[in-house]
Structure 1
């Protein structure tokens, strides 16, 4: 989500305004990795955390040995529009689709405050076109029939359940404490809504700080807790969990909770070795699930059959490639084109970001990238057109990838 994350990049005057964009709304997008002289640079496209020790080695002794990919087949149900950026029509491959995308802009307010806003385009499943959606926040459920939406002027006291075919809200879920984000569980049966006293994307004059020698409005931490909501009944259970003043990250106002990959726990960004702090749905601190501690990076994505995991950017020189590893042995299974591996289309194909090879340089060309469908055999199919090379351009779009 949910948009990819969902994932974060700062508005020009904020250090941590964010929206995760994820395959099924459970993880933040990874960072772009920059080449050291002549390598791709680590640049925050939509990243949640930068903490030493996040990368936990998956490989065992001898883990650099190659294991060839097996069972590479042609992916089905591909909808590609390589001449469109931002896209106007459905982009999808196999099990994953771009259910929505957003752009970001800074809105200055008369009183010296400001707010970071998200401008959404949501898929109309009847027309298979993306339509402007005037919501402050949204997430799309697996199977892409329903979106959870929040109205403008966060935080708000109700959550809408919107039909993607009609664009109409079918039902509202009322809450006693105002929410600033919402995310479907991996099975789509529950919602995780983080609650706030203030707009989590707000920037306030009385929290100003110096940026490039100028005083700019800053964020305030106001998180109060989270709801776990049963979608069918609307029953909402609240857990108090205020913003932690001594947190290292994130430093901004948004401190959303997210679902674990299996939907049994929730987590928030933290400074432990996993980069995540886990809790039960009632708020009790829990150890990281074993399946997640064995993954190499917080943004790692498992293949549908659980046999493969996405790995790091491993390009050298002019190579723009990332690795795929065996989930059990940690050994490298393949090296594929791409700098940011977002979602699996099937067990042998992924949806990735890759910059234009002829312009991919640390000077800025690395940000001119497009969505590709890439097979473990290295075959590449463009899915979208190229985004603008300006990382801070308000027209730069970020996809939300959802299981369909």
Structure 2
């Protein structure tokens, strides 16, 4: 999305408060705790990876709900569009080179016969209405540039992948898949997709590993060239040696430079994460700044800083010296807006704020100062419960 178009879209926006993405993610959903929005980042049970502490449910008053008239907005500067009174946001949230292109909300969980199934609704930014609109898709990802999205139909896993034109709202191409798909993610260059195949619905939890493997688990993935529709399938089971409790979504994802694929678990192995080249060969180590201790934002665009953390807590360090930037330790970093600004989750002034109960999207400098709220606060199990997808624009 070009700067002049963004300016038109956000001239009437309020001050900021943004939340890191999806997806993201995505150290990804593998780093998020169990039962926490599996849809935008790879979700793996906390019992399996023990990487995050759970939040404490504290009754709070929500800042805003979806219904009602939007608050008047304003631009903080010519590249920041913020809505600190909206959670989830109704109008575009963006800063620097990134934007919240979509988000998951309306999450619900049903437990039956030892299987816990989570469902949710995707809201996608519509440049025509200049608002996030409820969709009919079961899963989606927005391409860099925010001109098109890859979509899967509501009943997952799906038998085809759609390419959606965001300007017209029309699917311009359907790509059939013989192995049904539960997740799809764009490459950083916006030319390819990695499509993860599953036996059954991906967003479940169960302690019955045999049942999961036979009826729900990941079966493999496709690499798809979007222009030609040409695709290549590779089998890729879960292979966590029986250690995973809960399991859940285990999408294959791209490295930040698009040269490698990140796979949770591996057949016959005991690794939490295995990296593969695009020919399907396992790599001995993670790409630089993408190991398990690397927080989601990763390396800054100019290479001066990088982020480390356990999924929820994150710290900014200097690449040249390894020195921690004073004051930079805080909640999850989602994306670099540019070389000098980060989008991250931060607790609001609410004294009861913990993960999932009161944090909001903010824009900060690497030291955590100069915070600009991009959204209102989110709260689990309320209408303010949502998970952003952050995309390069």
Q: Same fold (TM over 0.5)?
A: yes
Which runs of 5 or more structure 1 residues have no equivalent in the other structure?
Answer: 22-26, 32-40, 46-73, 210-216, 314-319
Q: How far is the alpha carbon of 1:372 from its aligned partner?
A: 0.8
Call closer, same or farther: CA 1:182–1:2 in 2, change over 3 Å. farther
What is aligned with 1:195? 197
From 128, 135, 145, give the equivalent of 2:137. Answer: 135
Residues 350 and 358, structure 2, Cα contact 8 Å, conserved in 1: no
Call closer, same or farther: CA 1:386–1:234 in 2, change over 3 Å. same
Q: Distance in 2 between matches of 1:295 and 1:238?
A: 27
Residues 191 and 226, structure 2, Cα contact 8 Å, conserved in 1: yes
> Secondary structure of the residue that 1:246 maps to in structure 2?
coil
TM-score (ref. length: structure 2): 0.75
Call closer, same or farther: CA 1:321–1:151 in 2, change over 3 Å. closer
Q: Distance in 2 between matches of 1:208 and 1:277?
A: 20
Spell out the pairing of 1:287-302 with structure 2 (5 A cutoff): 287-292=284-289, 296-297=293-294, 299-302=296-299
Call closer, same or farther: CA 1:157–1:286 in 2, change over 3 Å. same
What is aligned with 1:343? 335
Q: How far is the alpha carbon of 1:106 from its aligned partner?
A: 3.4
Residues 2 and 139, structure 1, Cα contact 8 Å, conserved in 2: no
What is aligned with 1:382? 373
Q: How far is the alpha carbon of 1:243 from its aligned partner?
A: 2.7
Aligned length: 342
Residues 355 and 366, structure 1, Cα contact 8 Å, conserved in 2: no
What is aligned with 2:259? 264
What is aligned with 2:360? 370
> Secondary structure of the residue that 1:311 maps to in structure 2?
strand
Call closer, same or farther: CA 1:152–1:328 in 2, change over 3 Å. same
> What is the RMSD computed on CA atoms of the aligned residues?
3.8
Q: How far is the alpha carbon of 1:105 from its aligned partner?
A: 2.9
Which runs of 5 or more structure 2 residues have no equivalent in the other structure?
Answer: 1-20, 47-51, 57-75
Spell out the pairing of 1:109-258 with structure 2 (5 A cutoff): 115-202=117-204, 207=208, 220-244=215-239, 246-249=241-244, 251-258=246-253
Call closer, same or farther: CA 1:115–1:289 in 2, change over 3 Å. closer
Instruction: Write out per-residue CA displacement over residues 322-355 of structure 1, whole angstroms, 9 at most, x where no aligned residue.
Output: 5321123211234247412111111111111111
Q: How far is the alpha carbon of 1:299 from its aligned partner?
A: 3.0
Q: Distance in 1 between matches of 2:291 and 2:275?
A: 15
Q: Distance in 2 between matches of 1:365 and 1:283?
A: 36
Residues 91 and 132, structure 2, Cα contact 8 Å, conserved in 1: yes
Q: How far is the alpha carbon of 1:380 from its aligned partner?
A: 1.2
Call closer, same or farther: CA 1:95–1:202 in 2, change over 3 Å. same
Residues 16 and 250, structure 1, Cα contact 8 Å, conserved in 2: no
